[in-house]
Chain A
Amino acid sequence: MFKFIKKVLKGGWSNFRRQGFLSFATSLIIFIVVSLATSLYFFEQGVSFVSDKIRDKMDVSVYFKENVTRESILEIREKVIKMPEVKSAEYVSAEEAYERFEKNHQDDDYLKSLWAIQVNPFSASLLIKTNQTEDYKAVSQYFKTEEMAPYVREVNDYKRGMVIEKFSNMANTIEKVGFFLTIFLSLVALVIAYNTVRLSIYSQRMEIKVMHLVGAKNNFIKWPFLIQGALCGFFASLVCLILFYVLFYFLKDSLVSITEGFDIYAIYMNNLSLVIMIQFGTGIGLGLISSYFAVRKYLKG
């Protein structure tokens, strides 16, 4: 058994090495498929990040009347936080709201107007984030009930709610379209890769016949071709792994600044074992399976 394995490995490696151009062409096509598979993974990561980022900025702001005490607001906060739809509820006092405004508008004329009136126009508020986008309505409705009327001055969600929904729908659509587009392109590349491998084995069909005539068994003929296909996939995946590493390394700063924090390089390194599995699984699997089906046809004869 060991002798057989050694023979076929040697034969497969020899074929791969000596058929330089054919091996290169096949590896190149497999590289495209592996790149698409990797791109799909990181595209999903990116869209997920951006969607979470957008959703993170969405909140329901509840402004309380001036006579409502801090303790009352905190009590309401305790009730709200127990709601299953609510992810978090942050209490912002009037003073804190003033300070935040000062910080965000340091160079604006708004500040001068604020200083002119010499009164804090801001009220205490609760900034509430929900688990799902759809939950905002339920939370917002709660604060518009009669029970809350004595406490609540304003619930700021209506217009923002529309924006929230639009952004949410847009993010979902981009995610779906991108996913299906990548799947489609991957399938196209897969078909091209499969046919490239088939063509390369087709070009060797006479050699397969000769091997039969010399008395070789089917397994002895088949396995070097499978090894050859797997090697094409292996090297395609290796190049892809290195290329994406280099690409992400140089792109990381630009991406972080554009997307406010999407560190693609960090994601790549943190999920390296999964990335390797995806790339080598796709590459070697494609090489092996394509070779198997291609050579099988000529072994039947």
Chain B
Amino acid sequence: MIEFKKVTKDYVSNIGKEVKPALKDISFSVKEGEFVTLCGRSGAGKTTILKMIACEEKPNSGNVFFFGQDTSKIKKGQAFAIRQQVGFIFQDFKLLSYKTVFENVFYALEVTNQENKKTQDDVMRVLDLVGLSKKFNRFPRELSGGEQQRVCIARALIHRPKVILADEPTGNLDPYHSRDIMKMLMKINEGGATIILSTHDKEIVNSIKKRVITVEDGKIIRDEENGMFFI
């Protein structure tokens, strides 16, 4: 389903033109329905992996395959087609501040031309799933961090994506909300969705007991089913 083949990525800083390697010759694959956790310290390269799946970044060498399609060969203007098959959950939520909760979730359907009366009902069902159906007409600034993250999850789910990418979804949340979010993600995975979670939270990694890929200095140093967080 998703495959990285000898992928290398360097970032060049604007000042001094310093080259910083982000990923060094990494290879791995993710099957449909898997729950994979990418863990490692900050700056290890976890987010870069997620960005490459979503076509936000291209590898300097190697290939990234998304359901058989080589994303490194996709032109910038065509990246939307891949992104419409991906649900993204961000650490900082990234909600559209001038749209209500309902409109933020519905936006994911509008961009995929799936909006109609039936899908409007689907939005309310998903909001109910994440416990926010009563706050559908609120704006993001009127919600707590945990609630905003739940809206983000709802938006990531609504268009039934092939894979959900969660980049440090609990990074800005307290332990109570973090636990709720993780429960939700587990439940979504049980429903058949493929989830790739990026985190450096030891408690979360150890509680999930799913496949863990450990990234350090741009390299995969460990890849285990039922993995644990290792320092």
Contacts and interface: CB of A to CB of B under 8 A. Distances in A.
Interface of A: 3, 7, 14-15, 18-19, 206-207, 209-218, 220
Given A214-B155, A215-B111, A15 B83 contact: no
A201 to B, nearest CB: 13
B49 to A, nearest CB: 15
A209 B155 CA distance: 15
Interface in B89-110: 94-99, 107-108, 110
A89 B56 CA distance: 81
Contacts, number: 49
A152 B50 CA distance: 101
Contacts of A215: 80-81, 83-86, 108, 111-112
Contacts of B166: none
Given A213-B88, A214-B83, A215-B86, 15 more contacts: A7-B110, A14-B98, A207-B97, A207-B98, A210-B96, A213-B54, A213-B56, A214-B107, A214-B111, A215-B81, A215-B83, A215-B84, A215-B85, A215-B112, A216-B80
28 contacts: A3-B113, A7-B110, A14-B98, A18-B98, A19-B98, A206-B94, A207-B96, A207-B97, A209-B94, A210-B95, A211-B107, A212-B79, A212-B80, A212-B83, A213-B56, A213-B83, A213-B88, A213-B94, A214-B111, A214-B155, A215-B84, A215-B86, A215-B108, A216-B107, A217-B80, A218-B77, A220-B110, A220-B111
B182 to A, nearest CB: 22
Label chain A's interface by main secondary structure: helix
A217 B82 CA distance: 11
Q: Indicate the member of A214, A216, A220 with the most B CB atoms within 10 Å.
A: A214
Contacts of A217: 80, 111
Interface in B116-158: 155
